């Protein structure tokens, strides 16, 4: 039997201008990570086009996501969104204090 593992969100805050990714749980077909965005949007002209579904919770801060198709979506602390696999998206704006929880999972897990 394994022991429980305790952690703290935003424990690895980096300096302004640096985005950090912290895996919290990894299993086959699933990754839960904390992302600390220190004001960095997705670089101009770049899009995420992921093979996995992604559920994101903005645990702290404000952000604007843009979807193609679909347009912009504003997020505030406590709001979350499920982004289906292959839906192009980008972070247009994000506050310097943003902390995300991102759950990446295989689409087959969604359908089971």
Cα separation values, 109 from 23, 28, 85, 112, Å? 19, 11, 12, 5
CA–chain centroid gap for 33, Å, is: 7
The answer to whether the pTM exceeds 0.75 is: yes
- What pLDDT digit, counting tens, does each position of 5-28 carry? 888 887 666 666 678 889 999 999
Assign 110 a pLDDT band (cuts: 50, 70, 90): low
Question: In angstroms, what is the C-alpha Rg of the chain?
Answer: 14
């Amino acid at each position: 039997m394994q022991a429980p593992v305790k952690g703290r969100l935003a424990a690895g805050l980096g300096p302004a201008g640096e985005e950090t990714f912290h895996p919290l749980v990894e299993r086959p077909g699933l990754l839960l990570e904390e992302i600390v965005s220190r004001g960095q949007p997705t670089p101009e002209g770049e899009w995420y086009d992921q093979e996995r579904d992604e559920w994101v919770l903005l645990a702290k801060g404000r952000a604007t996501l843009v979807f193609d198709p679909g347009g912009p979506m504003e997020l505030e602390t406590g709001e979350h969104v499920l982004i289906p696999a292959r839906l192009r998206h980008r972070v247009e704006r994000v506050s310097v204090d943003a902390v995300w929880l991102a759950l990446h999972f295989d689409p087959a897990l969604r359908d089971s």
